[in-house]
A and B are shown apart, each in its own frame.
Chain A
Amino acid sequence: MIEELFFLLVFPGMTFQVVCGLGFEWLDRKLLAMFQRRVGPPWYQPLADMIKLFSKEDLLPKGANEMVAAFLPLLSLSAVLTAGLYIPIAGFSPVSFEGDLIVILFLMSVPTLAYYVAGIVSVGIYSILGGGRSLLQFFSYEVPLLIALSGPAILARSWSVSGVMSAQAGLGPFILFQPLGFVLAMVGLIGKLKRDPLDIPKAKSEVVGGSLTEFTGAKLAFWHLVMNVQAIVGIFLLVNLFLAWPQMLHPLLTAGIFLAQCLIMILILSTTSSVFARLRIDQLAGLGWRILVPLALLQVAVVILMGV
């Protein structure tokens, strides 16, 4: 019982993921600042921002549904925290079962849909516009992402993330077998996290703040936490599906390798954020369906042939 609570609340559950999420935000902002010749925030900035947000006034426009608006970020947070439970951290996974990859992907979609509903429910013109755009974006990147992520599962003949990881112990990191799948999964992750160049739903110059324009105070703090934990869970997932390493090593070394892999992923995400310009929604839809989906299908076809 105590053990289960530890896994749930401390590691690899809530505390660990929240700390990693805040660490991700700091690293991302620091790297962005380096690219832009700025100094960047100190390490405690994301935590300080969260604490400050909790002290702010929490209000919504007239006509907005307070209950639903308060419920949505908490729902999203629990969804991503639960998704994170099934992903092995440096090989250590207390909970796993056949098919948990599907569950993880489902839980990771909950925040996106909640983001859309948040826009509708907070009754501001920019919120509604941002929410609509986020749904349009969801349709463009989700399908290639799901197809690309099924590649490792097919190759490992297992729909469990731990299973995929152990299969890589024998065959080697899957990125070598399906580099295209990795790239597509990265693009999909950028879309899911709504980062530059796919931050169309919250493009400041066009829709001010997107769905979250009218959110303040504790609700906004939770939304930020959702974004950060979603990012870190996505990174863990991709590292496990594509970049795993043999497990027969000393646990400290495995942890070190895992950390290095995560840092490389964060570096890739920050670099693409600072280098590329934002796409227009029609350019994204064109990109998603005309280029990404066929490439993803091609990759999966190759994987199936390889497995045969």
Chain B
Amino acid sequence: MQNRISIPIGPQHPLLKEPLSMMIDISGEKVLGGSMRLGYVHRGIERLAEQRNYIQNVLLIERVCGICSHVHTTTYCYAVEALLGIEIPPRAQYIRALMCELERIHSHLLWLGILAKHVGLETIFMHAWHDRESSLDIMEAISGGRVSHAANQIGGVSFNLDKAQAEMIRSTISNLRTQVEGLLNVIETEPALHARTQGVAPVSAEMIRQYCVVGPIARASGVDIDLRRDDPLPPYDQLEFKVITHADGDAWARTLVRAQETRESLNLCDTIMRDMPDGEVLVRAPRKVPPGEAIIRSEAPRGEVFYYLRSDGSENPARVKIRTPTLSALSMIPAQLAAIQVADIPVVLAGIDLCVACADR
């Protein structure tokens, strides 16, 4: 009879991109449960935001997370603009959405590589990250940064797209689409990936609702929520796209949902580029924000991002509350880990697509 031992995963571990501490109890090759401790990347951003003015906060908020930095600043800027009572020009809205979708593509391709690497398919990891470079190249060409773009300003975006850049974006997206289709083909037919992910750690829709989980994890268990459709920020209310859901809720469903969402995002990028109206990209915004409270929600690559912003009339915000999607996904991990095998731990953790910096803020 094998006895119970506790293995630590983290704070440093090949499985984790960011520090997180988990103690997992195992007996032989079976996992019995685990506990978790966050806070290794806690920078106190909510508190820091109260000590800087609204314009400085755009740059601070960008650093909540490296992978989904743009959607954080987008949500924050929309919240400030709601308090100011201004509306940004349509072209700026479209550019913000374009960057959001590019970010979704790069985040999902990153995640795909990590999952493949943990299963042992290093070749898919290398190919996925090679393709991801195309989307990062677009973001760098138009905004100047690969992951921290400083694209948003209060009142609009900080750059415009000229004809040459628009053409470059269209052709890169079309190349990327061919590559991604090839990758999706491999994933959907690769038997080893099926064997490692099918039936692993299924999560029921009821558990999703009880743990308030959002994003691709929820959609993979059949819970149909997507804030781009349910509470759209402009211009998503004018764009057509499909929300991908799968019913099984196991690691394979989570893989499929994210893989197919990448394809949808590529289509959305095309739609955005096609429908982008002309005009300016920035309106002048006053420095002092009138007192008030605003709540804005948006869909990051990992799910629902929630911002509560309160202004007391001065140059600094009085309260910025950020809630990121990974926080609820993390709370579900101990429940998910019960009764799986040790070899499935990487698949389960990778399937959650952790962004611990988001959760810790």
Contacts and interface: CB of A to CB of B under 8 A. Distances in A.
Direct contact of A and B (CB under 8 A): yes
Given A38-B126, A277-B120, A206 B345 contact: yes
Contacts of A55: none
A190 B119 CA distance: 17
Nearest to B124: A277
A66 interface: no
B130 A37 contact: yes
Looking at chain B's contact residues, is the secondary structure mostly helix, strand, loop, or mixed?
helix
Interface in A99-123: none
A278 B192 CA distance: 8
Contacts of B119: 277-278
B162 interface: no
A204 interface: yes
A274 B348 CA distance: 23
B121 interface: yes
Q: How large is the interface on B (under 10, 10 to 19, 20 to 34, 35 or more residues)?
A: 20 to 34
Interface of A: 32, 35-38, 125-126, 129, 196-197, 199-200, 203-206, 208, 274-278, 280-283
The list of the 4 closest CB pairs from A to B, nearest first, reads: A278-B120, A277-B192, A36-B126, A205-B346
Given A125-B5, A196-B122, A280-B196, 20 more contacts: A37-B127, A38-B126, A125-B8, A129-B342, A197-B120, A197-B192, A205-B14, A205-B15, A205-B345, A206-B346, A208-B13, A274-B123, A277-B116, A277-B120, A277-B190, A277-B192, A278-B196, A280-B341, A280-B343, A281-B29
16 contacts: A35-B123, A36-B122, A37-B130, A38-B126, A126-B7, A196-B120, A197-B120, A200-B343, A203-B120, A205-B14, A205-B346, A206-B345, A277-B116, A277-B120, A281-B29, A282-B341
Contacts of B346: 205-206
A277 B130 contact: no
Interface in B175-216: 190, 192-193, 195-196
B123 A275 contact: yes
A256 to B, nearest CB: 31
Nearest to A208: B14
Interface centre among A276, A277, A283 (most CB of B within 10 A): A277
A32 B121 CA distance: 12
A63 to B, nearest CB: 16
A37 B126 contact: yes
Contact of B343 (A36, A125, A206): A206
Interface of B: 5, 7-8, 13-15, 29, 116-123, 126-127, 130, 190, 192-193, 195-196, 341-346
A277 B123 CA distance: 9
Contacts of B8: 125
B115 to A, nearest CB: 10
Contacts of A278: 119-120, 196
Contacts of A197: 120, 192
A16 B342 CA distance: 41
A120 to B, nearest CB: 14
Contacts of B343: 200, 203, 206, 280-281
Contacts of A199: 120
A196 B125 CA distance: 15
A283 B120 CA distance: 14
Nearest to A35: B123
B118 A205 contact: yes
A196 B121 CA distance: 9
A277 B121 contact: yes
A280 B343 CA distance: 6
B13 to A, nearest CB: 7
Contacts of A281: 29, 343
Contacts of A37: 126-127, 130
Contacts of A205: 14-15, 117-118, 345-346
B291 to A, nearest CB: 50
A256 B351 CA distance: 49
Contacts of A283: 195
A276 B118 contact: no
A36 B195 contact: no
A73 B326 CA distance: 44
Interface centre among B5, B122, B130 (most CB of A within 10 A): B122
A206 B7 CA distance: 10
A28 B196 CA distance: 26
Contacts of A282: 29, 341
Contact of B193 (A129, A274, A277): A277
A204 B122 CA distance: 12
B286 to A, nearest CB: 51
Given A125-B5, A206-B342, A277 B126 contact: no
Contacts of B13: 208
A126 B13 CA distance: 11
Contacts of B190: 277
B199 to A, nearest CB: 12
Interface centre among A32, A196, A204 (most CB of B within 10 A): A204
A199 B118 CA distance: 12
A32 B126 CA distance: 11
Nearest to A198: B120
A277 B189 CA distance: 13
